[in-house]
A and B are shown apart, each in its own frame.
Chain A
């Protein structure tokens, strides 16, 4: 399916949703509040817009520590208290080792999310987060519910996208346990 832009005959491929890219800037001084640091960057709703954005922003390996990229559906804020997220959770994957393939794996994850191949019709996926941290970089796939069957299907597909052959690397955490010090995953794949 294509849309034709009548102004300049450019072919555009529509995505199933509008998506918003957000960035969390690392704090550089103590006066900065969380709301100063988390900002929407841009929105996109076609494959063409997506590629133009990706081509012009730093890749994961170029980001400073404590940065996050968040790509969320529509107006959903990348905060677990947002009502779209509150009853759900996240599939969390921690990258091991030097992470030289972080750029490729992040791109694959984004493509599976915006292309809607990581879930069924009526997708549970609200968004995806990349976190750059000294202790280990992470990807998190945010869902709108804790429907176990749907979550297991998503988890299995996420494993394929990440080319994971071993078990134990994908953990699901409900957002309701977000404030617990030592939250345990409710599902591990």
Chain B
């Protein structure tokens, strides 16, 4: 597969992951470190569907069903994990979600039907640039519309002040769970697109490190900004590829370079590139659009 095409598709997949995590971490303020786990669930369930059960339908329909399956299974996993974990706060929630993310990976590692530690091979390449970016658009529109409605305001109020939110009649647990499930669901979609892009997935694709990298994307872009999540995802997908031009040593120091960039960013612009602001193309083109 063409290298640049592949990279462009990976950018789209990470945009979906980052925009979803941003709903949980940036909008709702719930520190989740288990995003790679939901990504894995979508990747594996959709791949299993395509390889084992899909009827002979056109590829794009199979992929679409795979994405829906990814959304639902990862969303349900989000519900199962969210209900016990979302009663925890701050660091405790981060540790619990981290643990669950790893559990998902270890369970997959022990499932021989999907290749276990050897990985899942022979997934047809049903995804392409068009389908990836169609889902990017769907993800952004759905999440932006949620955020700009009353459910989204309820989600954001929890980030702002949970006690005040409760006192305004908002069922905080319900909206935390909602944000968590929707974010997890889109990670599942990203998983489906990923497995049908790379044609091979293994548990090592979904380590805790990736949860951290997706988190870095939204911190870089600005927690709470969808625009920021998109930009952060693009930068951190392309950066390691750029670093490759400088040879293997530089490439191996990737995480150190990330850390340095992050430290610099926190010193210069602690709210991330976009803060909580959005780039609104309608407003930019003076076509209106109200708050």
Do A and B pair up? The answer is no
- List A residues at the B interface (Cβ < 8 Å): none
